[in-house]
DNA sequence: TCACTTAGTTCGGAAACGCAACGCACTTGT
DNA sequence: ACAAGTGCGTTGCGTTTCCGAACTAAGTGA
């Protein structure tokens, strides 16, 4: 086998997520989608990714329900790819990665792009908060709980394939 | 060229972050590090990753300052890998991905592992909050701002290589 | 001395990537 | 009418990376 990185017999949400968005270029495709990119040529030009790879990624993202093809022209039949709700929810992952990169890779010198929180006017420094109480969460605040009847990543994703 | 996915002439924090943690297995290595794994054999056994790949990943993570080698035995010389602050800060990325996977991949059926927020007792549903005002952030609440003098991912990471 | 541990390195083959060229179904320009 | 252009992929070939398994290296314990 070549580069497969088959996490599918793991039973882990992170591994399952990586199975969907962990391929090279995939997250950048989604990043661009958030900036309004929705067509093959746009992605190809902006990313410089190989066309066959891009085609494979789009197909995979559609299969996993992250992107949805929508016809924007019959004759010639053309469709664009728009983010589903599932896809839109990935903005948390993108922003979190942005926050880490801005802090630890670009640092003081500042990143090329920043996000400004409109309502408070500050440059976004994303924190992880508990959806229940709203408090900022640190690793030590969490307790890992393993649940019986684990299902593997492969079993979980099989549902996607079927649809 | 084979599978390189060279994002380095992009100027983007997400691309820069992917350059560090975007390789296959890398994020799972870090996930396990958060669960106390710190030695080669432990990762190899848990992940089932090829040994040469694991060696390459560990080397890369050390080079990028995410893991730090620490001697735990002279004679025979052995070192374990521990998360740096930079590495520990990646828990936000992991938890965010966990949150997305739990919601959109495992869904109602429940994931194999869950995190419980000790202080409020609820199962963690991670939200993205603004570090300044603490409000939950949605995409529409943000304004993208491009900053002059963009530095590419390659330039930014060159700093790491030197050290 | 011989097994055993730990942490890699090396080697062959398969899979995925990068690049460029091509195909196809239309539209537009002359 | 015919050539050129557009949008979206697919095909083929060469290279890189990955996987798997065997092997090395440096020591420990029996």
What was the pLDDT predicted at B149? Answer: 62
Residue B76, min C-alpha distance to chain A (Å): 32
Residue B67 has pLDDT above 90, yes or no: yes
The pLDDT mean for chain B works out to 88
Phi/psi-derived region of residue A36, left when phi > 0, alpha when psi is between -120 and 50, beta in every other case: left
Alpha carbons A62 and A109: distance in angstroms, whole number: 38
pLDDT higher at A81 or A147: A81
Question: Once rounded to an integer, what is the mean pLDDT over residues B76-81?
Answer: 90
- Tell the residue number behind the tokens 């400004």, with chain if given: A116
CB A37 within 8 A of CB A27: no
Question: Which of B24, B55, B40, B17 is CA-nearest to residue B160?
Answer: B17
Scored b (16 or more CB within 10 A) or e, B60-84 reads: bbbebbbbbeeeeeeeeeebbbebb
Question: How many residues appear in chain A?
Answer: 163
Q: What pLDDT was estimated at residue A159?
A: 60
Q: pLDDT tens for residues A106-123? A: 876 667 788 999 999 999
Contact A22 B20 (CB under 8 A): no
Q: Which of A87, A100, A121, A133 to mutate to test the interface with B (most CBs of B within 10 A)?
A: A100
Element (H, E) at B126: strand B126-130
The beta-carbon neighbor of A13 closest among B11, B102, B151 is B102
Nearest-CA distance A79 → chain B (Å): 25
Q: Search chain B and give the residue with CA nearest A107.
A: B156
Give dist(CA A141, CA B155) in Å, integer: 36
Secondary structure of chain B: what % helix, strand, coil (to 5)? 45, 20, 35
Distance measured from the CA of protein residue A37 to the C1' of nucleotide C29, in angstroms: 29
Give the CA-to-C1' distance from B159 to D12 in angstroms: 39
Nucleotide nearest A50 (Cα, C1') = C18
Residue appearing with tokens 């199962």: B123
- Say which range, B9-18, B85-94, B111-120, B141-150, has the weakest mean pLDDT: B141-150
Contact A142 B114 (CB under 8 A): no
A74 CA – D28 C1', rounded, Å: 74
User: Taking CB atoms and an 8 Å cut-off, how many pairs form between chains A and B?
Assistant: 282
Q: What is the CA angle B113-B129-B124, rounded to 5?
A: 20
HEC profile of A77-132: CEEEEEECHHHHCCHHHHHHHHHHHHHHHHHHHCCCEEEEECCCCCECCEEEEECC
Q: Which two tokens stand for residue A126?
A: 């994303």
Q: A118 and B137: CB-CB below 8 Å?
A: no
Give the model confidence (pLDDT) of A10-19 as tens digits: 668 999 999 9
- Taking every pair of Cα atoms in chain B, the longest distance, rounded to a whole number of angstroms, is 58
| Predicted confidence band of residue A3 (pLDDT cuts 50, 70, 90) | low
Are the C-beta atoms of residues A114 and B13 closer than 8 Å to each other?
A: no
Sorting pLDDT into bands at 50, 70 and 90, what band is B163?
Answer: very low
Q: Pick from A10, A26, A97 the residue to mutate for testing the B interface (most B CBs within 10 Å).
A: A97
Subunit contact B16:A94, Cβ cutoff 8 A = no
């Amino acid at each position: 086998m070549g580069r497969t990185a088959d996490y599918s017999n793991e039973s882990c949400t992170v591994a399952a997520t990586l199975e969907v968005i962990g391929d090279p270029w995939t997250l950048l495709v989604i990043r661009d989608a958030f900036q309004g990119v929705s067509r093959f040529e746009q992605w190809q030009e902006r990313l410089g990714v190989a066309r066959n790879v891009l085609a494979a990624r789009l197909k995979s993202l559609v299969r996993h329900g992250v992107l949805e093809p929508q016809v924007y022209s019959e004759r010639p039949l053309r469709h664009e790819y728009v983010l589903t709700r599932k896809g839109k929810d990935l903005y948390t992952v993108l922003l979190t990665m942005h926050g880490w990169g801005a802090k630890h890779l670009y640092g003081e010198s500042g990143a090329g792009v920043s996000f400004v929180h409109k309502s408070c006017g500050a440059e976004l420094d994303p924190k992880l908060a508990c959806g229940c109480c709203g408090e900022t969460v640190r690793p030590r605040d969490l307790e890992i709980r393993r649940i019986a009847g684990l299902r593997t990543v492969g079993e979980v994703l099989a549902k996607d394939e079927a649809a």
